[in-house]
Amino acid sequence: MKLLAVETSTEACSAALYIDGTVSDRFELTPKEHTRLILPMIASLMSEADLKSQQLDALAFSCGPGSFTGVRIATGVIQGIAMGADLPVVPVSTLAAIAQVFFDKNIAINQSDRIQSEGDLSSLNIAYTAMDARMGEIFWGVYRRDEHHLATLISQETVSLASDVEFPNILGTGVGSGWGVYHQELLARLSGLVSEYEDMHLPSAHAVARLGVRNFDCGLAVAVEQAMPVYLRDKVAKKESER
């Protein structure tokens, strides 16, 4: 399986190439530089692997939610490559990619430090994922780490006030930028279920590639004309009278 993935929905910009279980990637934290960087990142990965786009099996992209401009950049780049090479496209949720980054980090930690108890690890298998959506709201989704260590959605992705989020009755860890801004509201709302949060995790194309392969195998690839952004919010900005 050969799959190219891109992620540009936050201040991070990244591309990744999955080849038969091995992932190579490029990642830079560069706000507002995504348009300049993403195509050279892709070209570098493809050249390093000595591949042409026609040799790929599929493409994957972080389809949102996230920055309106950032999500559009990833969508446009992937649509262009897909049209030129006649490839199927796998949309991957940005929230899922954030949860996957969190899960991957903790897999690495647990492999090097095996003194934690089963109880200590249980909350690391659930990610209460929140992105700052501006306008007083967050993008929200709850993910479980499955038997393949991949993020699987267990509640509907939504955009709402932090004090209104819906959630399952299960221990977990808060993940994502929304926790940095609204941790007080979220901790109060999820009282007893979340004791710790990590707000520094950003989505990556590495995570998008792994989730993209899983989704491709599950038959979730679409034709290029169906590869569209997911904003969750109907309005990108509110009028002054609505604020």
Cα 91 to Cα 60: distance, rounded to the nearest angstrom = 6
Question: Minimum mean pLDDT among 48-52, 147-151, 229-233: which range?
Answer: 229-233
Q: What is the pLDDT of residues 172-218, one digit of tens each?
A: 999 999 999 999 999 999 999 999 999 999 999 999 999 999 999 99
Query: Taking the domains of the chain in order of start, what are their residue ranges?
Result: 2-94+203-226, 95-198
Which stretches of the chain are DSSP H helices? 34-48, 68-85, 94-112, 118-122, 177-189, 205-217
Closest CA to 15 of 220, 208, 177, 149: 208
Cα 203 to Cα 189: distance, rounded to the nearest angstrom = 25
The answer to whether 2-94+203-226 and 95-198 have equal CATH topology is: yes
Residues 6+ away with beta carbon under 8 Å from 219: none
**Contact at 8 Å (CB) between 125 and 171?**
no
Q: What's the pLDDT at 107?
A: 75
Q: What is the pLDDT of residues 161-171, one digit of tens each?
A: 999 999 999 99
| CATH architecture for segment(s) 95-198 | 2-Layer Sandwich (3.30)
- Is the peptide bond between 203 and the residue preceding it cis, with omega within 30 degrees of 0? no
Dihedral sign of CA atoms 149, 150, 151, 154 in order: negative
Cα 60 to Cα 88: distance, rounded to the nearest angstrom = 9
Tokens 């949720």, located at residue? 93
User: Can you tell me the mean pLDDT for 148-154?
Assistant: 96
Cα 211 to Cα 203: distance, rounded to the nearest angstrom = 12
**CATH superfamily of domain region 2-94+203-226:** ATPase, nucleotide binding domain (3.30.420.40)
Residue 85, judged by CB atoms within 10 A of its CB (0-12, 13-18, 19+), counts as: middle
pTM: 0.92
Identity at 120, one-letter amino acid code:
D
